[in-house]
Structure 1
């Protein structure tokens, strides 16, 4: 029942690029806070810049949320592969060891479902946000 999410922004989607963007934005906010402390007035340009930055922050949060959904899908697949490997090992193992492998396989299947459920929730929230955005415009 899982749906593989499609990348939103392949260039700005990596953890490293998000971290660099966050550092640059934090530096920019520090500079602006210093300007305000020195009495530099707010004007139309700074208001427009703040509004643009808020839109960019929302966009970045959507990309990060989408990336999380992708990671849940990947984790689900990895757990399913691990469960299959344990099931194969159980077939070849003695009763005691085979039981341990069957238990491990059950654990991995449960984890796969947990990640799949989390990915589904992430994708449903993303879809709901897109629908709300369409209604606003």
Structure 2
């Protein structure tokens, strides 16, 4: 799998297309009366495990991005607070309000990260 974001997305897309083709073929086999057997059952079990692992990795990646977004919002809040300390009276409230908005957004991302991590487990 590629380390480049677009390449990774392309790789995932191609894997999804292959799996869709595989499922389409299996559906056609079943409609044609081909029975399930130990081999097809094992293949389905392996595919289900692979799907669960992809889901787990996706939730972990989402949690990591939420943590990063929360940290970015906290840095922005801190910057606004620093600016508010140096601002003239007319700008203080605006910067303090902006800091509050960023801290609230950080809290939302922290909650989302916890939810995503819970889904990953």
2:16 matched residue in structure 1? 22
Q: Can you list the C-alpha shifts for 1:65-119, whole angstroms capped at 9, x where unaligned?
A: 1111111111111111111222223233332322111101111111112212322
1:95 matched residue in structure 2? 89
Aligned counterparts of 2:116 and 2:96: Cα–Cα separation in 1: 30
User: Please, which runs of 5 or more residues in structure 1 have no aligned partner?
Assistant: 1-9, 130-137
Relative to the length of structure 1, the TM-score reads 0.71
Higher relative helix content: 2
Q: Aligned match of 1:74 in 62, 68, 83?
A: 68
Spell out structure 1 runs of 4+ moving beyond 4 A. none
Aligned counterparts of 1:61 and 1:100: Cα–Cα separation in 2: 41
Please report how far the alpha carbon of residue 23 of structure 1 lies from its aligned counterpart in structure 2 after TM superposition: 2.8
Aligned counterparts of 2:12 and 2:67: Cα–Cα separation in 1: 20
User: Please, which runs of 5 or more residues in structure 2 have no aligned partner?
Assistant: none
* Counterpart mapping for 1:110-121 below 5 A: 110-121=104-115
Q: Aligned match of 1:40 in 34, 37, 40?
A: 34
Change (3 A) 1:86 1:45: same
1:5 matched residue in structure 2? none
Aligned residues: 117
Paired residues of 2:67 and 2:110 also in contact (CA < 8 A): yes
